[in-house]
Chains A and B, each alone.
Chain A
Amino acid sequence: DGGITQSPKYLFRKEGQNVTLSCEQNLNHDAMYWYRQDPGQGLRLIYYSQIVNDFQKGDIAEGYSVSREKKESFPLTVTSAQKNPTAFYLCASSTPPGQGNTEAFFGQGTRLTVV
């Protein structure tokens, strides 16, 4: 079945450590996205990528980094520079505008807790 997979579902890290969240999709989508969600809040865009080897900052990119070396993968690194990293992280993918239905498919999220 095609879909988008985030792993792990729960992640615990010590303060000051970098941590990388995985996002893989087999939908052949060009565009991929990372969002952060805090309790009771909406989704905030961290980074997005429209094509391999290219990505743009979203609204809250500080303290995060990404790479897009393969079409299927868009890992997110939460660095020690992120002051409040504890949150629910969601990855999504879609076809870019102009290529048919552009609905986004979301993974089930990774809940990161930094202690």
Chain B
Amino acid sequence: DAKTTQPPSMDCAEGRAANLPCNHSTISGNEYVYWYRQIHSQGPQYIIHGLKNNETNEMASLIITEDRKSSTLILPHATLRDTAVYYCIVRVAWGAGGTSYGKLTFGQGTILTVHP
């Protein structure tokens, strides 16, 4: 699976949009971009994923650049409860064989702090 690079920390004011960047310059054509978040001492929670088109759900929006080498997770109206560690990962979307098949690898993530 391709590696990702995220800033270690970001701040955001409550009610404003939080834009979390992720670089994945070595992403392959069969890899999706996934975002998870982890609130302290809990298991990570799935947020959103996409292949090449922008995606939106009730939690967030995902913007993927045309060359797919980077993406941005957008929380449109951040609240204090959105304070968490946000992980961007890339994962094979269909069988590619080899020992990496099915592997799910997390990086260090971005600590997002939403302040009043």
Q: Are B101 and A104 in contact (CB under 8 A)?
A: no
Q: Are A35 and B106 in contact (CB under 8 A)?
A: yes
Residue of A nearest to B47 (CB): A103
Q: Are B108 and A103 in contact (CB under 8 A)?
A: no
Q: Are A104 and B46 in contact (CB under 8 A)?
A: yes
Chain B, 77-116, contact with A by CB distance < 8 Å: what is the 0/1 string? 0000000010100011111100101111111110000000
Contact size class for A? 20 to 34
In the complex, chain A residues whose CB is within 8 Å of the CB of B93: 97-98, 102
Chain A, 23-58, contact with B by CB distance < 8 Å: what is the 0/1 string? 000000001010100000111110010100000101
Query: Given A90-B44, A98-B95, A102-B32, A50–B102 Cβ distance below 8 Å?
Result: yes
How many residue pairs between the two chains, A and B, have CB atoms under 8 Å in the bound complex? 71
Q: Are A96 and B102 in contact (CB under 8 A)?
A: yes
Stretch touching chain B among A13-21, A61-69, A71-79, A105-113:
A105-113
Query: Given A42-B109, A109-B42, A48–B94 Cβ distance below 8 Å?
Result: no
Q: Are A97 and B91 in contact (CB under 8 A)?
A: yes
20 contacts between A and B (CB under 8 A): A31-B104, A42-B107, A43-B44, A45-B105, A56-B99, A56-B103, A90-B44, A92-B43, A94-B104, A97-B93, A97-B96, A97-B101, A102-B32, A103-B34, A103-B46, A106-B43, A106-B45, A109-B41, A109-B43, A111-B41
Interface of B toward A, CB cutoff 8 Å: 32, 34, 36, 41-46, 49, 85, 87, 91-96, 99, 101-109
10 tightest A-B contacts by CB?
A106-B43, A98-B94, A43-B106, A50-B102, A103-B46, A42-B108, A98-B95, A97-B92, A31-B102, A106-B44
Interface of A toward B, CB cutoff 8 Å: 31, 33, 35, 41-45, 48, 50, 56, 58-59, 88, 90, 92, 94, 96-98, 101-109, 111
